[in-house]
Structure 1
Amino acid sequence: MNEQVNQSRLAIIGMGPRGLGALEALAMRVEDGAAPLKVDAFDPFPAFGAGPNFDPDEPAVCQLNIPMRDVEIRPPKFARCGSFAEWLEDAPGPNAFPARADLGRYLEERYADLKASRRLEITLSSTKVSELKQVDEGWMLRVADEWVGPYAEVLLSPGQPDVEPDDQLAEWQQHADASHGTLAQSYPAKRLLSQATAWSGRTVAIRGLALSAFDVLRVLTTLQGGKFHQGKYLPSGNEPACILPFSLDGRPPFPKPETEAIDANFEPEHEETWAFSDNIKNAATAAPKRAQEFITEALLPVVARILRDVGGDADTSDVADWLETEWSSPGSQETGGSLETLQAGIAMAEGKSLPSIGYVVGQVWRKWQDELRSGYNPAETPPETAEKIVAFDEGLKRYSYGPPVSSSRELAALIDAGLVDLDYAADPDFALTNGGWTLKNDASSIEADVMIDAVLPSPNLSILRPPLLVGLMEAGRLSPIADSLAAHTAGNGQLIGKDGAQSRGLCLLGRLALGSVVAADSLHDCFGEASHRWAEGVMERLGPRT
């Protein structure tokens, strides 16, 4: 494969949803009747287009955290499968949260349509790429024991790569090997399900109380034969005796509004959205303090108006104080306990209680995600400003990325049934014992013999394990935009190295570019403007084609 470089030859490493979105954007720019662009795709995961997050073989209890009404990833014109709702047999109503496996099957079909369009000539390889180097003719990839290429363009879209465990998890891995305790991972859920059949009557702790924890809870309950009925949980007897979810603050995320009608209460007006679009563009290139002011200026009147419209008693100064504190100390203004936070979130999502300032801020922020990306992602943001804006966005995810309210109700029902105990949910102390893990609060302790890790690793480059990415870091081509953030990339996705120079034709899309881009974990981001900017850059660099 070491022939003279063909200027239309590309490589893509990672063929999950982001790789699919990038190639669709590229195919849209290939004119009908033109010679196809040649693409070699490398990914050991067999579900091309879906990836592990939307594995078609995962249990149906693993849900998206967005309702059908908000799944807006329309296919390109050359695709035959239509929208997700059109493609899905017996599509649920607009307020339902579909299974991730169903979306995975849909994305597989999108990939099949992409191949059938003949705009790209795609060759697939399930072999991992271990090394990459630049030569005069382009880029060479080490695949198994062979160098292949050269390629005019290489796109890295690795999703969530393997990382070194944090100190706590590393200690627990060693402890599990030396004790009678069992340490498991939340995903793949089908593997967890196989393991969980042996945990009947045992005490199981869950490290993490975010979205993944809700999937884990269903694996441990309904997939063991239990049922939810009229707000109650009816156990099968195959479940663990006790389930102990915990996190640093012990508070579950706030659920999204239950219906389209309730959600409409949080809709910004067109003029308010236009103002935010302008302000986020200005914020992205401003100094940190001024960036905060730009974003606050856009949020403040909208949140105050919505609170007035729904009959709340908070005034503009209350909203201003809340935002000021959120910028400096995200999450610190919620003081309720685990159960109180869960119940308050359910009531607000159902429209049965007035929304808090934070809940309104989070829902408005969710509705501005496209404008946030459009204003921030193409910009060359100063590192200190990137850290500030990303931290604000990440903090608001407890509202904006929340689960369906049905998941929160399920958690409440499991608590009522005595299966889930939140007494140790808020940053418990631990003692490692021969039987597993002893969780401690101020008043009591309890031993768990199974620990499930449900924490998504950070995109910190220093903990990456794949040799390809480690090699790029050592070569200075993959470099963080700031110490607390991920890779430095240009607006078109090209990597910017430690020396500040762009690596022509070497690009990265996804969560490993957090800081250079914002809100990169979203499904919609995979098919959004970032992919189109990358595709435009590729076509410009390849030059005119016949």
Structure 2
Amino acid sequence: MSAPLAASVAVGDRSNLSHGASRFRIGIVGCGPRGLYCLQSLSDELRRNRCVRSLSIDIFEPSEFPGAGNVYASCQPHYLKMNFAAKHINAWADLGESGAERLDFVGWLKQRYGTSVDPNGFAPRAVVGEYLHDCYRKVYAELEEFAQVTLHGCRVSRVDRRVRRWVVQTDRLEAEYDELVLTVGHEGWRTPQPSQEQTKVEFIPAFPIRKNLSVESIRPGETVAIRGYGLTWIDVTLALTTERSGAFIVTGDNWRYLPSGCEPRRIIPFSRSGRPMLAKPNESLFPQPAALDAIWERGRDAIDALQLPIHRCDRGSEFWQILTQSAAAAVNHFRDRSFGTSTEVQNWFDDWCRGTMKPATSLAAMRRSFRVATGREVPDVGWAMGAAWRNLYPAIVRQVSYGGLAADQWKTFWHIAAEMERIAFGPPADNVGRMLALIDAGIVDLRFLTSELQIDSSRRAGTCTIGNGIDTVAVDRCVDAVLPSPLQLHSAGPLQGLLEARTIRRLHGSEGIEVDRLGRPVTEKGRVVDVLSIIGRSTEGCVLGNDTLSRTLHDQPQRWAAEVATKIQNRKENE
């Protein structure tokens, strides 16, 4: 048993957790990657300020792998891949004084396993989770030089204000803190609230994937409908094929699937739009020319120069023109004669968004994106739009976050962002190749992409059919591959309780939890709440782009840690 986990067991049964009166007490609720980043930044600040006063840090994380959380748990199957290149993964904001011990993901893999990895490749989430958990253990050891550190392997159900402190409640203990930060991420594996019609259907949640999608839950030869057509759909489909000893091989330019006989007879994805997620390029197969860097830099500078708040982001706005002009300039780099314009880019986007997408159109978009992403075809406008959004995104985050977008523009922005999620932040090209192989093998059936399930009262309770006006298919099992949005809080979690008590509020327009640049939430009356911070996914909209492992896109953990270290130092000087 690891030392941090042993500490958790040692205190886990106490009904009340008390500290010495002179201790400065810090609570971290949720310790996935964002909680890890807060701890790592705090460790740096404590060392920098030589804070050696009496200090205690309590970490509340119910998952087995602190630092990784559920999403990056190292026990999950290795076919579940990142869509964030290995070279970008680094848990450390800076090297600090112990740079030799602070390795990025690529360096850690080489040290741990003695093998090199393609920095442009997409690693298994489980291996990334192993790295994050190892970083957590290092940070834990660093913090023990300054503080009494304890991990509690339990879920926090409620937090309340008590004079100048915050009280944390779990089913095991109650404790008070001088500083409390909530980094609860997805708040555990949950499914979104289904529609009234969907409540009549028995959906199997996608996660935890091995438990929920076993051969006992979904038997070989059954027909499975999957709600959702994004990254989780791919995870579920691989669990129903690769996990069951099906094999993918590369033949020429394409992937081919060799069935094991244990997979479902048919896998049917369905969604509201029918639009797929396009393949994310592997830069080892499709190197990005250095000339593009100047295009992206000009685009970011133009976004940064926009006057705030941004009052328009529709197709006639300066914001949108910057994006489409950047995409046009990028695609022109690969063309000999036909020069694209921002109008051509806009027309492509209009066609992409127009109504629901037909199965044949969706499949063609997937095939083309796969070939472009693997360097087999010349880049097109779809690639250029995705590349422009990815490369201008840091500037978009800087400008739009913290009220940088007018409240009445959020509906338009969310529409753009949802489509760009499909175009820019899709799966690794290899996984798109695998899905194409399953389609070619007749296992994945796209004919019902925008259809709806219908209850079949002639069969057992909870069973249904799906039809497209021409064909109707009986469905044996339904899987929910749609995760709750950041706006859908856990009904029994601490954030929902704070909202109901009007201790915090949502930012008008975006509806994310409103916070300042230190993560301090804002009350219904517009006052900043002190000694409490909320950092990460639940603030989406107030802070843009939280679902990332990037340490460079946001600096809230560093800002929070710097303020806390200053408080500790000031208290020490006043004693």
Q: TM-score, normalised by structure 1?
A: 0.89
Of 58, 79, 97, which aligns to 1:40?
A: 58
Report 1:13-162 matches (<5 A). Answer: 13-31=29-47, 33-35=50-52, 37-74=55-92, 76-77=94-95, 78=98, 80=101, 82-88=103-109, 89=113, 90-117=115-142, 118-144=145-171, 146-149=173-176, 151-161=177-187
In structure 2, do the counterparts of structure 1 residues 290 and 317 end up closer, same or farther at CA, with 3 Å as the change threshold?
closer
Q: Distance in 1 between matches of 2:537 and 2:23?
A: 28
Q: Which moved more, 1:204-213 or 1:298-307?
A: 298-307
Q: Distance in 2 between matches of 1:205 and 1:474?
A: 36
Q: Distance in 1 between matches of 2:401 and 2:536?
A: 11
> Shift of the alpha carbon at 1:407?
0.8
**Secondary structure at 2:466's aligned position in 1?**
strand
Report 1:381-400 matches (<5 A). Answer: 381-400=405-424
Report 1:420-435 matches (<5 A). Answer: 420-433=444-457, 434-435=459-460
- Asked if the contact 1:65–1:402 (Cα under 8 Å) also holds between the matched residues in 2, the reply is yes
Q: Which moved more, 1:430-439 or 1:214-223?
A: 430-439
- Asked if the contact 1:283–1:294 (Cα under 8 Å) also holds between the matched residues in 2, the reply is no
**Secondary structure at 1:122's aligned position in 2?**
strand
In structure 2, do the counterparts of structure 1 residues 308 and 517 end up closer, same or farther at CA, with 3 Å as the change threshold?
same
In structure 2, do the counterparts of structure 1 residues 291 and 72 end up closer, same or farther at CA, with 3 Å as the change threshold?
farther
- Asked if the contact 1:330–1:392 (Cα under 8 Å) also holds between the matched residues in 2, the reply is no
Q: Deviations over 1:198-223 (max 9, x none)?
A: 51011111111111111111111111
Q: TM-score, normalised by structure 2?
A: 0.84
In structure 2, do the counterparts of structure 1 residues 403 and 317 end up closer, same or farther at CA, with 3 Å as the change threshold?
closer
> Shift of the alpha carbon at 1:226?
1.1
Residue identity matched to 1:12: I
Q: Distance in 2 between matches of 1:358 and 1:537?
A: 43
Which residue number in structure 2 is paired with residue 464 of structure 1?
490
Which residue number in structure 1 is paired with residue 429 of structure 2?
405
Q: Distance in 2 between matches of 1:533 and 1:370?
A: 18
Q: Which moved more, 1:202-211 or 1:140-149?
A: 140-149
Of 215, 230, 239, which aligns to 1:219?
A: 239
Q: Distance in 1 between matches of 2:553 and 2:59?
A: 18
> Shift of the alpha carbon at 1:444?
0.9
Residue identity matched to 2:557: S
Q: Distance in 2 between matches of 1:199 and 1:191?
A: 13
Q: Which moved more, 1:311-320 or 1:138-147?
A: 311-320
In structure 2, do the counterparts of structure 1 residues 224 and 283 end up closer, same or farther at CA, with 3 Å as the change threshold?
farther
Q: Distance in 2 between matches of 1:271 and 1:538?
A: 40
Q: Distance in 2 between matches of 1:142 and 1:304?
A: 54
- Asked if the contact 1:460–1:484 (Cα under 8 Å) also holds between the matched residues in 2, the reply is no
Which consecutive residues of structure 2, in runs of 5 or more, have no partner in the other structure? 1-16
> Shift of the alpha carbon at 1:92?
2.8
> Which consecutive aligned stretches of 4+ in structure 1 deviate over 6 angstroms post-superposition?
none
Residue identity matched to 1:34: C
- Asked if the contact 1:267–1:367 (Cα under 8 Å) also holds between the matched residues in 2, the reply is no
Which consecutive residues of structure 1, in runs of 5 or more, have no partner in the other structure? 177-182
Q: Which moved more, 1:486-495 or 1:527-536?
A: 527-536
**Secondary structure at 1:19's aligned position in 2?**
helix
Which residue number in structure 2 is paired with residue 258 of structure 1?
282
- Asked if the contact 1:12–1:41 (Cα under 8 Å) also holds between the matched residues in 2, the reply is yes
Q: Deviations over 1:6-29 (max 9, x none)?
A: 573211110111100111112111
